[in-house]
Amino acid sequence: MTRTSATLIGFTAILLWSTLALATSATGAVPPFLLTTLTFAIGGTVGLIAALVRGVGLEVLRQPWPVWLHGVGGLFGYHFFYFSALKLAPPAEAGLIAYLWPLLIVLLSSLLPGESLRAPHIIGAVMGLAGTVVLLAGKAGGLGFAPEYLPGYAAAAVCAVVWATYSVLSRRFHNVPTEVVAGFCLITAALSVLCHLAFEPAVWPVGATQWIAVAALGIGPVGLAFYAWDIGMKRGDIRLLGVASYAAPVLSTLLLVVAGYAAASWTLAVACALIVGGALVATLLARNSRKS
């Protein structure tokens, strides 16, 4: 697989994640850890079936413990701290801090063998972060970081570090088959059901529409997306994927607008301009600097 094709597959994950808000809104009042349990169970099962169809046996799951620590720690750790942050702090501020992970991916990628950090990548990532700030501030009517929410802000920061670390360290495990992600998903589902039993009421999906939405989440944004992201991180352009990840919240908002769940606004237009501009800076200027 070429670096370009792996990067394009990584972009697929970003596109799928942009559907999260719309699909989640169709799941009704299902609490977050129960929804995580259901969707990761579906995503892991679909991954195992796909592996068996392709002739990859279950022995692929026999991996050393660092592989499992990396995978389960990334998937479950991210969701645990993200949901904790949303419970302990206002969602706009918590979401903004959590969405530092694309910038962290760009910065941490410089530590990998054969990778170098260029100014256009940093500029592009900062522009993407600025676009996210504008988008979330517009939704919330402004951002205010109050001291009483420090535990929530800290959880959001840990969430960002966990996902960025998981993503970048995937390159260190480039010899581990992507099919192992199915195992990561199933263990994440098992740990999430424990959190659900400990912290949440049991509110199950109601009706065919909500169950279809749960299945769609499990197959797409919580299933295929993690396999695609694994390929992109292991074999693609990590820095470009990090910058491009800022497109997810904007695309998500655009989908909500099209579906009638949200209204278009000037903040959405500004956020689009910043994030698209950041991606162009990261690709075109970085390409020119390599040629010079």
Question: Residue 145: what pLDDT?
Answer: 73
- pLDDT reported for residue 265: 76
Q: Assign 141 a pLDDT band (cuts: 50, 70, 90).
A: low
- Residue 287 has a pLDDT of 58
* pLDDT in the model for residue 286: 55
Contact yes or no for 23/221 (Cβ under 8 A): yes
Angstrom distance (rounded) from CA 15 to CA 151: 31
Q: Taking residues 250-269, what's their average pLDDT?
A: 78
How far is it, in rounded angstroms, from Cα 237 to Cα 234? 9
For the segment 80-132, what is each residue's pLDDT rounded down to a tens digit?
999 999 889 888 788 888 888 988 888 888 888 777 777 877 888 888 888 88
pLDDT of residue 292: 47
**Per-residue pLDDT for 266 more than 90?**
no
Would you place residue 285 in the very low, low, confident or very high pLDDT band (cuts 50, 70, 90)? low
State residue 164's pLDDT score. Answer: 94
Spatial separation of the C-alpha atoms in residues 98 and 140, rounded to whole Å: 16
pLDDT band at 139 (very low <50, low <70, confident <90, very high): low
In the predicted model, what is the mean pLDDT of residues 131-158? 81
The mean pLDDT value for 17-36 works out to 90
pLDDT (0 to 100) of residue 279: 76
Q: What length is written for the chain?
A: 292
Q: Which residue has the higher pLDDT, 92 or 209?
A: 209
Residue percentage of the chain with pLDDT more than 70: 93
Q: What is the pTM of this model?
A: 0.88
Where on the phi/psi map is residue 114: left (φ > 0), alpha (ψ -120 to 50), or beta? left
State residue 90's pLDDT score: 83
What does the pLDDT read at residue 160?
92
Instruction: Spell out the alpha helix ranges (H) of 141-246.
Output: 150-169, 181-199, 207-219, 225-235, 238-244
Indicate the pLDDT class of residue 284, thresholds 50, 70 and 90.
low
Task: State whether residue 137 is helix, strand or coil.
Answer: helix
Whether 290 and 269 have beta carbons less than 8 Å apart is answered as: no
**pLDDT of amino acid 260:** 76
**What digits encode the pLDDT tens for the residues 36-80?**
999 999 999 999 999 999 888 889 999 999 999 999 999 999 999
